[in-house]
Amino acid sequence: MTKNIKIAGTSVFPIGLGTWNIGNSPSEEEQEIEALQQGLQAGAQVIDTAEMYGSGASEKIVGQAIKDYARDSFYLVSKVSPGNASKKQLPKSLEKSLKRLQVDYLDLYLLHWKSPVPLEETVEVMEKMKKAGKIKAWGVSNFDTPDMEDLLSLPNGKNCVTNQIKYNLIDRGSEYGLLPYMREQQLPMIAYSPIIKNSLQQFNEGQSQVLEELAETHQVRLQQILLAWSIRDGNTIAIPKSSNDAHVLDNIKAAQIQFTTPELEQLDNVFEKPTEKQPLALW
């Protein structure tokens, strides 16, 4: 039985819809809109975008895809670029995002990565936008453990509800320090790139063999195994991106995969857990 994840008090399906790189080609817009709508109809709720994705083009596509859906049927996430995270600029960025998305508020607004703007200032204006009803909650993206510690020590810093990071079977460095810290703080993770790009080319023979065996056992695609693994802890929302209807539906079905303890041990044997601090994986 697939379990929903709670984020900022809202219960959502653990596999969402990523939108990086959509909106870049006019000839693909119809297909991209259709893929997002197929995902929503199949049970996805979280849609993740950002003002920097195609300089707003991604948000426009999302706006087209969601305009005929009830607002409470999806959970909308966007991100402010670091240079716009100030008291003066963040409200302007937010208004532009809302206009492109054709909505009155965001469910979640993230600081895309560390900013030259003092973090305290960004937190203050995020709180102001929350009080104004422009956003329901706020969080961060690409923050490592020291960054999270700095954030949570600030006035209202503990109102941060999540940290979105790159996480998959190859990029496991965050398991050493960051993820235990986030669990301690009861912060769910949003995992981007959960299905490793060009994955088959990156795996060695042992890794490929284990993944192929698991895919055969569960009667699914290899990519579904990767995705199911990323949400195995019950505290993670994964946001794979696809403009292919069939792949979007497969991604959502991956939430039904339940691994046995021996299967997880098999994966740990060929995709080793970190034994020391590693740089945070990016992009």
53 as an active site residue: the answer is yes
DSSP assignment of 141-179 equals: ES--HHHHHHHHTSTTGGGEEEEEEE-SSS--GGGTTHH
Q: What angle do CA 147, 151, 156 make, to 5 degrees?
A: 170
Give dist(CA 3, CA 35) in Å, integer: 23
Please name the helix (run of DSSP H) or strand (run of DSSP E) that holds residue 214, with its range, or none. Answer: helix 205-218
Which residues are CB-contacts of 152 (< 8 A; sequence separation ≥ 6)?
A: 158, 160, 185
Cβ–Cβ under 8 Å, residues 240 and 15: yes
Q: What is the DSSP code (8-state) at residue 185?
A: T
Q: What angle do CA 227, 78, 143 make, to 5 degrees?
A: 70
Give dist(CA 209, CA 244) in Å, integer: 26
Please name the helix (run of DSSP H) or strand (run of DSSP E) that holds residue 10, with its range, or none. Answer: strand 10-12
DSSP assignment of 12-81 equals: E-SB-EE-TTTTS-GGGHHHHHHHHHHHHHTT--EEE--TTGGGGHHHHHHHHHHTTS-GGGSEEEEEE-
Give residue for tokens 């940290």. Answer: 163
The pair of three-digit structure tokens given for residue 235, joined into one six-digit string: 């505290």
Question: Of 53, 75, 109, 192, which residue is the catalytic one?
Answer: 53
Q: Give me the active site residues, please.
A: 53
